[in-house]
């Protein structure tokens, strides 16, 4: 019976202070949802990508060699511990016609083991050597359809890398299927256009019968048990690294074996083949010599023999020349981190999770403080009841359990709501953003019970702990003292009273307001801190938005000064540059080329400290380094200009943040032909969008041991942005491989920050809700604490408006103080995101516009005004007689 009565007392307390109870519920729900939701959305994205990769059997490890891989290499890899399946594949980067332009395309042989299995959209996968499957993106761009033919040709003129040479026969291939590339989950939209370009624009798949090479381009490895792990987890990384280490153990032996084959066995085979060819040719010459002299038959036979002998001699000469140019045979063992879209997903999710680790902390602190205020007031209101409980023999623990249950129930209800919002609502919101960024068959929702329990438990511990602290003092008193009215606080002079020339000029109500602010110090502190925290969150959110807007003019209006970057085949570079000048000089052209700077450019892998980033390499001719400033402004972190001199290597700031490299450190650079060099970073250059690596021609040639072959050009144009974009699109028909228009990048810039802007809107909304709850709760607590006082001034004749003004003035003053403190706090919090938000190819140099500070403060006051309007109704309903009878 007694427990039932006691339990009913808990329900009565909840009903009697429902607003306070709901405030704890809402704050807990907001905090848990932010803590779980952003992280859950990122994990759901990673889970969706992982499930897609597992479904298509995407490789775990990719092994390449500078001179291809043989069947013996494949057998050796298959025997390595931890390798479930290893298969050799053929691939090449080729060029194909898309309309009137040439585009890069990766051509890859289909796997017999279904590794990297493309998603079949329409048609049938290739079975014969003259069939090809193309991606939906290619069909859309080219206008072709199933049954049409397509051709491609490899470009091996600029590289001695075996894997870059012709792996497939040139000619026409019949399109038999429309597919999706399983390793590319990026959407076709302009989102993330500033990121480093991938190896190619499109992907083709052919049957293995189409391969003409005697060696594999790569070996794709599926690791035993890897599918049971999330490919973005530490456990997966540990397993893959273990198997990569096992493959490393056989690497040196297989490199030596391949070098032996190419430098000893192959020359010997060439000698034997050349001798054999000479004996064929000798026999044919003897037969010709027996023919009648001067006859047409003998002349034709001799001409045919001479032609075939010359062709054979040239082939042997070419083969020997190629062997003489052989460098060191080197293996490269890479994991899924080398897949561009895989890394993009990892970086994007990490950036959002970084936000998720900062914002919930403020929600948690505010929740604890609000709970402390709420519990303190609730216990003070129930002093008499607590005294009665103690008089009836209830222990301190039993009485305390009532208020612990009160707080715990609020946390549990808020936690359930927060889990629903966090694991369902917020991920679904983020999925609408991810749909613009990634192309996946489905997004998977998941529930992380550990994260759920931890987040709810964290808030429960904080809130319940605050409740226990608030109750501790009352529990120590005797039943007799608790059942007597609490003695009013002794009056005291406040600091402002000691400043006479100010105090004497203040009106009566202003003096009362000042005294009340200092009288209820705890509530004043809670209000100030709550408003400051919410203001800081709003400023931080707006600062992230301001920064994303400012990055475009910083990059394209300050750092990037060229209007066009065009890249061609090195063999065609002179002709394409001439075509550029001719197009500019045409009478009907609305755009004029004012100047150009030839360069060499390549997408390279920059590795330091076990981490890698894809970086755009820019090599400037030694005699044109002084002209670089007209096209690209190089400046250090203090924004002082840098001059590119011989021996200098400048790396962009975004890469430095990810890799942790410092000036003076040495790193490895691997180019697209798998050539590797060691370079010493001279300085860090500011580059806000994209990763870049600058060096001079001499620096490059000493590092890589090979000559620079110019293939790109920086161009300055004269003409409107629209005309420049149209001009750049027309250039592709002149043989350029890639065209990058600065005007077009600027135009498409907004789409690049869809995910960041969406998260900012979400977090700002959450902060606004928190601000409203804080002010509403503390305002109601203020009224309940002073109900007798407010009834007194109403009895004394204060009108409604005067009563409202009497109370609301204090709230506005506290809001002003809180907002003033929140401004610098928000600025510091926003600045931290320069180092927290490390998205690929992005230096997030945070800056907050003055207007954002103003809007955050205005928003804080706006919520205070709204709350004041709501609490004014409570003021109007105060029962003067009942309040004055109370023993407060």
Q: 31, 364 in Cβ contact below 8 A?
A: yes
What integer is the mean pLDDT of 305-317? 77
> Are 24 and 411 contacting, i.e. CB atoms less than 8 angstroms apart?
yes
Pick from 518, 526, 541: nearest CA to 818: 526
What's the pLDDT score for residue 60?
Answer: 93
Looking at 347-361, 535-549, 659-673, which range is the least confident one? 347-361
> 220-242 pLDDT, tens per residue?
999 999 999 998 888 999 999 99
Backbone angles phi, psi at 129, to 5 degrees: -70, -15
CB atoms within 10 A of CB 799: 9
In sequence order, the 6+-apart residues with CB closer than 8 A to the CB of 408 are: 460, 463, 464
The answer to whether the beta carbons of residues 448 and 40 sit under 8 Å apart is yes
- Say if CB 389 and CB 482 are below 8 A apart: no
Query: In a 3-state reduction of DSSP, which class is residue 785?
Result: helix
3 state SS for 764-779:
HHHHHHHHHHHHHHHH
Mean pLDDT (the chain) is: 82
Rounded Cα distance between 560 and 308, Å, is: 55
Going by the DSSP 8-state scheme, the letter that residue 421 receives in this structure is I
Strand 83-89: give its sheet, edge to edge. 83-89, 216-223, 61-69, 331-335
pLDDT at 163 over 50: no
pLDDT band at 751 (very low <50, low <70, confident <90, very high): low
CB atoms within 10 A of CB 376: 22
How far is the C-alpha of 24 from the C-alpha of 30, rounded, in Å? 10
333: exposed, middle or buried (C-beta count within 10 Å: 0-12, 13-18, 19+)? Answer: middle
* pLDDT bucket at 772, cuts 50 / 70 / 90: confident
58 pLDDT more than 70: yes
Cα–Cα distance between 92 and 234 in angstroms, integer? 32
| φ, ψ for residue 195, nearest 5 deg | -70, 160
In this prediction, residue 887 carries a pLDDT of 54
Phi, psi of 695 (to 5 degrees): -155, 165
For position 156, what pLDDT does the model report? Answer: 43
Torsion of CA 667, 669, 674, 675, to 10 degrees: -90
Rounded distance between C-alpha atoms, residue 139 and residue 123, angstroms: 13
Residue 161: which pLDDT band, with cuts at 50, 70 and 90? very low
Arithmetic mean of pLDDT, 539-556: 84
Query: How large a percentage of the chain has pLDDT more than 90?
Result: 20
Check if the beta carbon of residue 183 is closer than 8 Å to that of residue 116: yes
Q: Taking 50 as the threshold, does the pLDDT of residue 438 lie above it?
A: yes
The token pair that represents 536 in the structure block: 């800081």
Residue with tokens 């001059």: 643
Distance CA 131, CA 685 (A): 48
Q: Band of the pLDDT at 162, cuts 50, 70, 90?
A: very low
- pLDDT value at 676 more than 90: no
Say what the pLDDT of residue 389 is.
82
Is the Cα dihedral 655, 659, 663, 664 positive or negative? negative
Give the mean pLDDT of 799-809: 82
Q: Which of 116-125, 164-173, 387-396, 806-815 has the highest mean pLDDT?
A: 116-125
Q: Any idea what DSSP says for residue 203?
A: E
**Residue 351, CA distances (Å) to 75, 555, 564, 694 in order:** 41, 21, 31, 27
Question: How many CA atoms, within 13 angstroms, populate the side-chain half-sphere of residue 793?
Answer: 19
**pLDDT value of residue 157:** 38
- Which has the minimum average pLDDT: 336-340, 486-490, 553-557, 712-716? 486-490
pLDDT exceeds 70 at position 174: yes
Q: How far apart are the C-alpha atoms of 514 and 813, rounded to whole Å?
A: 10
**Backbone angles phi and psi of 216, in degrees to 5:** -75, 150
pLDDT score recorded for residue 16: 76
CA atoms within 13 A on the CB side of 23: 27
Residue carrying structure tokens 């924004």: 639
The helix (run of H) or strand (run of E) holding residue 217 is strand 216-223
Express each pLDDT in 66-104 by its tens digit: 888 889 999 999 999 999 999 999 988 888 888 767 778
Positive or negative, the Cα torsion across 363, 365, 368, 370? negative
pLDDT of res. 523: 74
d(CA 109, CA 210): 8
Look at residue 581 in the predicted model and tell me its pLDDT: 81
**What percent of the chain is modeled with pLDDT above 70?**
89
Is the pLDDT at 159 greater than 50? The verdict is no
Q: Which residue has the higher pLDDT, 404 or 323?
A: 404
Interval 594-625: pLDDT, tens = 999 999 999 888 888 878 888 899 999 999 99
* Per-residue pLDDT reduced to its tens digit, 454-511: 888 888 888 888 888 878 777 778 888 877 766 666 666 777 777 778 777 887 777 7
Cα separation of the two ends of the chain: 32
| Whole-angstrom distance, CA of residue 23 vs CA of residue 778 | 10
pLDDT at 694: 95
How deeply is 664 buried, as exposed, middle or buried, from its count of CB atoms within 10 A (0-12, 13-18, 19+)?
A: exposed
Mean pLDDT on 691-696:
92
CB atoms within 10 A of CB 880: 15
Sign of CA dihedral 259, 260, 264, 267: negative
């Amino acid at each position: 019976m007694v427990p039932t009565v006691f339990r009913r007392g808990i329900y009565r307390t909840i009903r009697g202070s429902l607003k306070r109870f709901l405030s704890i519920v809402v704050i807990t729900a907001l905090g848990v949802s932010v803590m779980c939701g952003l992280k859950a959305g990122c994990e759901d994205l990673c889970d969706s990508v992982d499930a897609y990769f597992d479904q298509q059997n995407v490789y775990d490890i990719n092994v390449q060699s500078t001179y291809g891989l043989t069947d013996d290499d494949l057998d050796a890899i298959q025997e390595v511990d931890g390798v479930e399946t290893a298969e050799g594949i053929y691939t090449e980067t080729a060029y194909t016609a898309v309309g009137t332009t040439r585009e890069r395309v990766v051509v890859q042989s289909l796997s017999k083991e279904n590794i990297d299995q493309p998603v079949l959209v329409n048609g049938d996968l290739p079975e014969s050597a003259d069939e090809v499957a193309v991606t939906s993106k290619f069909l859309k761009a080219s206008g072709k359809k199933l049954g049409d033919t397509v051709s491609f040709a490899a470009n091996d003129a600029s590289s001695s890398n075996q894997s870059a040479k012709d792996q497939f026969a040139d000619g026409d291939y019949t399109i038999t299927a429309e597919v999706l590339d399983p390793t590319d989950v990026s959407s076709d939209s302009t989102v993330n256009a500033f990121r480093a370009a991938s190896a190619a624009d499109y992907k083709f798949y052919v049957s293995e019968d189409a391969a003409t090479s005697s060696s594999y381009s790569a070996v794709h490895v599926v690791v035993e048990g890897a599918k049971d792990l999330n490919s973005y987890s530490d456990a997966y990384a540990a397993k893959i690294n273990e198997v990569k280490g096992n493959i490393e153990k056989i690497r040196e032996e297989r490199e030596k074996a391949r070098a032996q084959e190419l430098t000893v066995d192959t020359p010997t085979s060439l000698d034997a083949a050349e001798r054999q060819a000479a004996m064929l040719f000798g026999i044919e010459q003897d037969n010709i010599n027996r023919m009648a002299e001067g006859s047409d038959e003998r002349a034709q036979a001799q001409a045919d023999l001479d032609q075939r002998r010359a062709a054979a001699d040239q082939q042997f000469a070419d083969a020997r020349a190629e062997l003489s140019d052989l460098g060191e045979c080197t293996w490269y063992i890479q994991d899924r981190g080398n897949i561009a879209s895989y890394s993009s997903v990892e970086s994007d999710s990490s950036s959002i999770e970084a936000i998720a680790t900062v914002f919930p902390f403020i929600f948690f602190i505010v929740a604890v403080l609000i709970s402390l205020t709420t519990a303190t007031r609730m216990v003070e209101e129930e002093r008499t009841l607590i005294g009665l409980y103690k008089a009836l023999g209830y222990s301190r623990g039993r009485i305390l359990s009532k208020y612990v249950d009160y707080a715990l129930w609020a946390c549990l209800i808020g936690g359930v709501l927060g889990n629903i919002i966090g694991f369902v609502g917020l991920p679904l919101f983020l999925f609408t953003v991810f749909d613009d960024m990634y192309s996946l068959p489905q997004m998977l929702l998941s529930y992380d019970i550990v994260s759920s329990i931890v987040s709810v438990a964290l808030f429960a511990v904080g809130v319940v702990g605050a409740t226990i602290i608030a109750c501790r003092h009352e529990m120590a008193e005797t039943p007799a003292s608790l059942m007597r009215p609490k003695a009013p606080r002794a009056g005291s002079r406040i600091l402002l009273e000691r400043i006479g020339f100010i105090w004497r000029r203040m009106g009566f109500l202003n003096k009362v307001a000042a005294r009340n602010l200092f009288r209820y110090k705890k509530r004043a502190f809670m209000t100030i801190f709550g408003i400051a925290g919410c203001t800081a969150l709003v400023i931080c959110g707006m600062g992230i938005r301001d920064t994303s807007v400012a990055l475009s003019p910083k990059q394209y209006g300050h750092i990037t000064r060229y209007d066009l970057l065009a890249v061609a085949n090195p063999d065609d570079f002179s002709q394409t540059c001439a075509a550029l000048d001719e197009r500019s000089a045409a009478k009907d052209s609305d755009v004029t080329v004012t100047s150009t700077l030839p360069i060499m450019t390549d997408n390279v892998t920059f590795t330091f400290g076990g981490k890698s980033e894809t970086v755009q390499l820019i090599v400037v001719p030694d005699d044109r380094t002084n002209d670089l400033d007209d096209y690209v402004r190089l400046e250090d972190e203090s924004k002082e200009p840098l001059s590119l001199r011989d021996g200098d290597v400048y790396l962009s700031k975004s890469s430095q943040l990810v890799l942790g490299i410092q000036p003076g450190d040495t790193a490895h650079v691997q180019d697209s032909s798998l050539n590797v060099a060691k370079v010493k970073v001279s300085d860090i250059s500011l580059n806000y969008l994209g990763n870049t690596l600058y060096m001079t021609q001499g620096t490059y040639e000493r590092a890589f041991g090979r000559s620079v072959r110019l293939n790109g050009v920086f161009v300055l144009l004269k003409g409107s942005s629209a005309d420049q974009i149209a001009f750049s699109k027309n250039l592709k028909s002149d043989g350029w491989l890639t065209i990058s228009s600065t005007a077009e990048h600027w135009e498409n810039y907004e789409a690049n920050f869809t995910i960041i802007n969406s998260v900012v809107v979400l977090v700002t909304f959450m902060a606004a809700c928190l601000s409203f709850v804080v002010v509403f709760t503390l305002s109601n607590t203020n009224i309940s604490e002073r109900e007798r006082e407010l009834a007194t001034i109403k009895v004394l004749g204060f009108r409604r408006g005067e009563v409202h003004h009497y109370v609301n003035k204090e709230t506005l003053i506290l809001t002003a103080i809180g907002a003033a403190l929140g401004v610098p706090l928000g600025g510091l919090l926003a600045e931290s995101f320069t180092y927290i938000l490390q998205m690929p190819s992005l230096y997030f140099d945070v800056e907050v516009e003055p207007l954002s500070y103003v809007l955050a403060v205005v928003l804080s006051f706006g919520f205070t005004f709204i709350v004041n309007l709501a609490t004014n109704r409570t003021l109007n309903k105060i029962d003067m007689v009942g309040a004055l009878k109370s023993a407060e």
